[in-house]
Structure 1
Amino acid sequence: MKKKSKVHGFNFVQEECIWMRSGIVAFKRCENAFDCTTCAFDKAMSAAIQTGREKAGRKVRPFREESKERSYMERVCRHMLTGRVAVRKCGNDFRCDVCEFDQMLEDVDAIHPMGAVPIVTVAGYRYSDSYYYHLGHAWARVEYGGRVRVGLDDFGWKLVGRADAVEVPGPGNRVRQEKEGFTLHRESNTAHVLSPVDGTVLAVNVDSLHDPRLAHDDPYVNGWLYLVEPEALKKNLEPLYFGEMGKEWLYGEAERLLQIVMGDAAAMAATGSPPVDDVYGQVPEVGWDRLVREFFRT
């Protein structure tokens, strides 16, 4: 089943490309997580327009030259086109690369997650089908500009309970998919969680680092851990679970945990009661190392 990508911070009708929304091309869907700065199609269109290349049998005028002839009210900012802001007119000839408003949005988004997401319950665990999930239970949320916010899912937090500390790579450090992304500590135990994507860390959530209970209690919004500038986003997303596929995977993880734990935890889930919130703390005989090995895959 083909994955349908989800990008937060946008309100596109079926994910229409900026060039389609602005009426310059008749039909184009975004295939680059709305990261126009690295989009091959955007570069090609910009080059064609800037040079006045013959296209479709007619002369295409440079984009800026054409935009200057429009009235101010017709110059719709791309953030308004995407639903990012309610009303915004472009007074910068569509030069987003030197726009202070555009930079301000990027700076704000680096620190604050972009709104709440629908949360459902799957086998007793909180789950959002808007996120991508790594086999080792780290999640990846694609946001404005193609950047990726990372955290640990509800299942993972219920395994380790309330961690004493969380270690994440600082800004400027690189992370690699399938390599250690962040580390959880509880008492004398350590759990390394694999990174869901390749990239460079742009920002960290100091609130979650100072108080890991925040990430445990609100893992999908305020409990994020770090923000990444990805290096191979499309490739990285391919092996991750998403949408209905993610639900099926989580059901399987819950069943496997019950088989390992058995006893009271299995009985609770079988009767429809919530799963154990702190597996390590409430069922210590299973052992920290086994939980980490089986579910974090490290």
Structure 2
Amino acid sequence: MERKSEKIKKVQGFNILQDECIWMRSGIVAFKRCENAYDCNNCSFDKAMTAALRSGKKAADGELRSFREQAKEHSYMERMCRHMLTGRVAVRKCGNDFRCDVCEFDQMMEDVDAIYPVGAVPVAEVAGYRYADSYYYHEGHAWARVEYGGRIRVGLDDFAMKLLGRPSGLELPGVGSALRQSEPGLCLKRDRNEAEVLSPVEGTVIAVNVDVLKQPERVNADPYSQGWLFLVEPERLKKNLESLYFGEIGKDWLTHEAESLQQLIFSEFPAMAATGAPPVDDVYGAVPEVGWDTLVHEFLKTR
């Protein structure tokens, strides 16, 4: 299996919108794609351009003006809200010169996003496990889904849930908690056993799925939608995603993990080799002799 750093280069895709940046639409820059769902207030490019304009930089044919200044010259009906630009709502005009930070409608949309997952995604079967094609996967079997505005929804993949079985409880980070990539971000419990799970991204937790705290079995039943765990406002998003598995590369990795699990079980229980693949729905429950700590260490990459 190739190293992630080599494989990731073959997949240059983000699960985010790639439409024309508003600075490009305004004719201020020749070419720039929006990678932040038109959330200009949290865009590093927008901040850099705004700072450049404030410093008095000029174009060859005269003084540059912010797209916000240009927008003021257009009628209200020509000022499209960022949620309309991305196709999320059919009609919505902007009356705030793209100052989303003072827009009640934008705040309402953000609040909705924090509670509800954005749409269903296609789920395929890979080596007997469910696999969501548009998600990013950490080697410790947590997934990361890039959503509207660049936020990250986090959960556990189907392999992890079938490996350890139905949890009796979950410990999730509180809102405002700071997470670091590849460091413990949550804890899964099954009776007296506990397993720390590594966070797939770095950032600040801004919402937690309280439903799974009340009903942990939701994570098993629907790990990629209703079984999500928490929402993160990420830091260094692009760098974080580069170290995760995605698309066909993720499928290859999951197949490799399934094969590694099979080899582990067959080495401990040679008699099972004659029956074919090891049990998938609840590996620990079917063969607890393999050991909880062994499964957690080998596949969740924690102690």
Instruction: Name the TM-score, length of structure 2 as normaliser.
Output: 0.87
**Residues paired across the two proteins, number:** 290
Question: Secondary structure at 2:195's aligned position in 1?
Answer: strand
| Cα distance change on mapping 1:184 and 1:34 into 2, 3 Å | farther
CA distance in 1, matches of 2:237, 2:133: 18
- Aligned equivalent of 2:58, options 54, 61, 68: 54
Q: For the structure 1 residues 101 and 32, does the alpha-carbon distance in structure 2 shift closer, same or farther, using more than 3 Å as the test? A: closer
Distance 2:62 2:247 in 1: 43
Q: 2:15 pairs with 7, 10, 31, which one?
A: 7
Q: Within 5 A, what are the aligned runs for 1:106-145?
A: 106-145=110-149
Q: Which runs of 5+ in 2 are unaligned?
A: 1-6
| Preserved contact between residue 122 and residue 247 of structure 1 (Cα < 8 Å) | yes
Query: C-alpha separation between the residues in 2 aligned to 1:82 and 1:141?
Result: 18
CA distance in 2, matches of 1:103, 1:179: 31
Q: Aligned partners of 1:225 and 1:252: how far apart in 2? A: 25
Number of the residue aligned with 1:89: 93
Q: Is the 8 A contact 2:39 2:100 kept in 1?
A: no
Query: Are 2:206 and 2:232, in contact at CA under 8 Å, matched by a contact in 1?
Result: yes
Q: Distance in 2 between matches of 1:245 and 1:56?
A: 46
| Residue of structure 2 aligned with 1:294, choices 261, 283, 298 | 298
Q: CA deviation at 1:292?
A: 0.6
Would the aligned equivalents of 1:18 and 1:81 in 2 still touch at CA under 8 Å? no
Local SS of the residue matching 2:225: coil
Q: What is the match of residue 3 of structure 2?
A: none
Which range moved further: 22-31 or 90-99? 22-31
Q: Distance in 2 between matches of 1:227 and 1:160?
A: 23
**In structure 2, what is the Cα distance between the partners aligned to 1:159 and 1:283?**
10
Does residue 1:227 correspond to 2:218, yes or no?
no
What amino acid is aligned across from residue 93 of structure 1 in structure 2? Answer: D
CA distance in 2, matches of 1:155, 1:35: 34
Equivalent position to 1:37, from 34, 37, 41 = 41
Deviations 1:49-89 (A, max 9, x none): 56774224233334333212212221111111112222211
- Against the structure 1 CA distance between its residues 143 and 176, is the aligned structure 2 distance closer, same or farther, given a 3 Å change threshold? same
Say which SS state the counterpart of residue 197 (structure 2) adopts: strand
Once the two structures are overlaid, the 10-residue window that deviates more, 154-163 or 80-89, is 80-89
Which piece of structure 1 moves more, 174-183 or 163-172?
174-183
In structure 2, relative to structure 1, the CA distance for the partners of 1:4 and 1:37 (3 Å cut) is: farther
- Measured after TM superposition, the shift of residue 17 of structure 1 is 2.9
Which of 197, 204, 209 does residue 200 from structure 1 map onto? 204
Give the CA RMSD over aligned residues.
Answer: 2.3
Runs of 5+ unmatched residues, structure 1: none
Structure 1 51/95 Cα, relative in aligned 2: closer, same or farther at 3 Å? farther
Counterparts in 2 of 1:142 and 1:111: CA distance versus 1, 3 Å: same
Runs (4+) off by over 6 Å:
none
Contact map agreement 2:28 2:67 (CA 8 A) in 1: no
Structure 1 distance, partners of 2:123, 2:243, is: 22
User: 1:289 Cα shift?
Assistant: 1.2
Aligned to 1:175: 179
